[in-house]
Structure 1
Amino acid sequence: MRYQRIFTIVLDSLGIGAMPDSQKYGDVGVDTLGHIAEQKENFRIPNLQKLGIANLHQLKGVSPVQKPLACYMKLQEQSCGKDTMTGHWEMMGLHVTRPFRTFTEHGFPPELIQELEKRTGRPIIGNKSASGTEILEELAEQEIREGKLIVYTSADSVLQICGNEETMGLETLYRYCEIARELTMRDEWKVGRVIARPYVGKKKGEFKRTANRHDYALKPYGKTALDSLKEAGFSVISVGKIYDIFDGQGLTESNKSKSSVHGMEQTIDLAKRDFTGLCFTNLVDFDALWGHRRNVQGYAEELERFDEKLGELLSVLRTDDLLILTADHGNDPTYTGTDHTREQVPFLAYSPSMKEGKNLGVSPTFAVIGATIAENFGVKMPEGTIGTSLLEQLL
């Protein structure tokens, strides 16, 4: 075992340029990080810079460094799709050949809506891609007054149902979501997650979502590197959305985050703890708050806040720790629409024990991450998984 602890942090949606097949996905000339750097005055990410982010990908206003601290590489996605679950599942060894369904453009098909209305006994309103807070302002009064049901989606593969905790009740909302999960197991309607979105309040301006959200996720279709680690007795600790993405499979501990800054604070706290195994962190605000909302300035400032916390994390890493920074897809805030973008993602691997960083080239799959983690801890990747370890190259 070379490294006692591996910290893998996913900067959700931080793509670094179009995949060779991006045109098939309607994504031409996309570059999440590159376009942010072009539009942000005085873009300051000194810790990412010293690791080698600008050596890996040309960035306006951020110079390459002569001796990058990290080993760096571009990762290409082998799986079909450009969503969160596909990206994370591939990192841990699964090759997803059928992308999860999204219903961003036109909402859910009438057949699904009719079946959901029949099974819940409530007429459905909404049925479109929307922000969760905006749809409450638009439709929550009607839902409460007329006993209807708000159903909506986003750019992700999700079906979301809103319910007022006081008038509908949590248990009723959860039951409706269980019905929706059963219906959306059919291939033509299959979404990655059904999400219960409870809220309180009686009128516009007062509606607030509560912490009683519940995700009904698909389990990974096979075992991943996480399962191999857990079965071998290693710690597999998640921070942020990782629990939802893997439906808890292969984890020994999970920590919910209130924000990406909070997720980094949790990761720093874990780095001050003794454990042997993996800490797997997802920082979702890049994607949810800024990428989907096409907010370049917000995305850039989130990256600067991350970079500050990254400096704190680097200061507490031990010589036998490995830090891996990566992403799961792109979400170019300068591009049209509000969808994810099919992009290559960064791979930066750093340990205080490394002699020097270097360019490792391009990988045809994200799965090098899971394979590297598995080899480090001396466990076999599950049968049917993909990916080749980079451990020997991380000197």
Structure 2
Amino acid sequence: MSALHNFASAACALYLLLAILAWTRVADRSLRWSLSGWLLTLGCLSAAPFYHLNATSAGWLWLQTLLYSGANLLVLTSMVLAWRLFEDRARLPAWSWWPALLGQLIDSYDFYRSAHENWPNEQTLIVVFEYLPQLIKLAYVVAAIVAILRSLRGDLLRGRFRLRYLALLAGALIGLEMLLLENLVGIHLQLPYDPAGFHLCWQLGLALWLGLKMLDISGQVDRDYALAEPAPTAAIPRIAWSAKLAALRPLMEEQAVYRDPALSVDSLAARLQMPAYRLRQLINGELGYRHFNVFVNDHRIAAACRDLADPERDHLPILTIALDVGFGSLSPFNRAFKERLQQTPSEYRAQQRQARSGGAAAAEPGSIGSGP
């Protein structure tokens, strides 16, 4: 084997080691699965120089197909990891896995057939086996970007806030390099470098960096193993935080500023006459929330629960209640409500009606003031 194949073997071994390390050290189950899966698919991608070696046996061809298939799952595992890291309560829809599996089956079959014959050899087959999987991958890339961007401004974890930008920058640079240089320039001009070697360089560099970061961690780690901050309130006298918290609670509970759909970290900080970063520390350190939107939506959902359980407001449509408590439309209200209480607003209202008719005490929603 060439030096390139030795380099690829080293990268694969590193990613396998990192996946084992992540599996044994990350305490959060969902993050453990998504991080380990992402590292394994990165390892399969780093094995790219082995994909097109002449297969000396059926077993070797199956191994090549397996590595190629694993690499094609990278967009799926990247999207899942982004969702787990940056979306605190939102859950991935169950159907989100099926397009990736469909594209995976098409891609793997295409790879296996092309190793034996001139395949695909018709225009229709080229569209199905070459372009369709690429469109599916593009859709997952967009989903990962949405997960990174849609809750960016309200993130209360400083490390995770920075990580969003790093993820976007790394993805943009790698995507531009592969799209512009290889697929566009490389068609007409000879590239001034070896693309496979270039990819292995950044993949091996990423593996080494991740390894060093993970080896710095002592003991078991939780969901924020790479994002955790020191307790933000430790650097400031406790009495100062208590005073700010005492000023925050009336704004949220008595003045109900959460009913403003445009409420943001900056606008709430201005009301409290404190810097926005201090407000982030206050909500995260004192109340345990990791995202500003979750903090605000919990107050909105609690108010909506009171309205839905109130017999005098039983005639109001759910949309009216959603708009009244600060949601811009019905869809985000329904989504946030179900994430918080595991039932829809209609189901909650029906439950309260049944409780009133049966003389039972109405169930109270989850208490506000403790983050996820």
TM-score with structure 1 setting the length? 0.26
The structure that is strand-richer by fraction is 1
TM-score with structure 2 setting the length? 0.27
Structure number with higher relative contact order (C-alpha < 8 Å, ≥ 6 residues apart): 1
